Amino acid sequence: MKTRLHSHGGLLQVDHDDTADEAAYEQAVSDLQRDFRRRMSMIYATLCSSNMQDSQRAPYLRQFLLRLNFNGFIEAVALADALKAAG
């Protein structure tokens, strides 16, 4: 069974065929995970920037960040990605 992943406007479409190519499927999923983590880290870093925190929206932004990162996962991923990119 062959599985093809196609992105259409940010949405993921999965096509199945009878001849399997698991390596290509796993590579596509890995690429999607890496892209998601990179974008998530970039958005989190932007929201945590001092320019955003100092604005009039800061009380709502701080509350949003607290809810977004309630278990520390996003902050840990963003920090790991930043250290990986720097080193």
Q: Which domain holds residue 54?
A: 2-86
- Average confidence (pLDDT) over 22-44: 87
Domains contained in the chain, number: 1
- Per the listing, tokens 């999607």 go with 32
Residue 68 CA to residue 15 CA, distance in Å, equals: 33
DSSP strands (E only) in the chain:
2-8, 11-17
pTM above 0.85, yes or no: no
Query: Is residue 78 very low, low, confident or very high in pLDDT (cuts 50, 70, 90)?
Result: confident
Check residues 1 and 29 and name the one with the higher pLDDT. 29
- What three-state secondary structure class fits 32? helix
Q: Say yes or no to pLDDT of 14 above 70.
A: no
- Mean pLDDT for the chain overall: 78
Q: Say yes or no to pLDDT of 2 above 60.
A: no
The secondary structure of residue 21, as a DSSP letter, is -
Residue 24 CA to residue 87 CA, distance in Å, equals: 29
* Per-residue confidence (pLDDT) for residue 1, from 0 to 100: 46
